[in-house]
Amino acid sequence: MAETPRLSPGDTAPDFTLPTDTGEQVTLSDLRGRKVIVYFYPSAMTPGCTKQACDFSDSLDSLQAAGYEVLGISPDKPEKLAKFREKEGLTIRLLSDADKAVMTAWGAFGEKKLYGKVVQGVIRSTVVVGEDGTVEVARYNVKATGHVAKLRKDLALA
């Protein structure tokens, strides 16, 4: 299985501009001066991804109070993300990376094992970007359930 290049603490986070479910564009470098949690998930409206998105939404106020923005990125089109937001009452920003270029640059797309088979796909990942644009935390192959609680503990926000 070929190893996908991954980000590590101290790396400069690759910049991106992606559309949201509301049609606006979000550029990572525009968020300099704030800490940003960027998480990658395979598909809106699936059980694990819904649990993770709801967990981030439920924690958004306290994360923002601690100085963090949250961006959820999937290969879904903005229209599907809008339905996802509406159906689940999500408050986080959902971004569409339809061509998977950002996911690839961030090490969140590539070969992974799924039910014992090697497949190409989205690697559920979370990267925390510091105020200066460098990676502070990079977690790959995270579990959807309990991940936000673990991240809060890792960031001393528990």
Query: Which residues carry out catalysis?
Result: 49
Above 60 in pLDDT, residue 45? yes
pLDDT digits (tens, 9 = 90+) for 71-99: 999 999 999 999 999 999 999 999 999 99
pLDDT digits (tens, 9 = 90+) for 130-147: 999 999 999 999 998 888
Read off the amino acid at residue 119: V
Q: Are 111 and 90 in contact (CB under 8 A)?
A: no
Above 80 in pLDDT, residue 2? no
What is the 3-class SS of 47-70, one letter each residue?
Answer: HHHHHHHHHHHHHHHHHHHCCEEE
**Which pair of tokens denotes residue 117?**
């088979």
Report the greatest alpha carbon distance in the chain.
Answer: 42
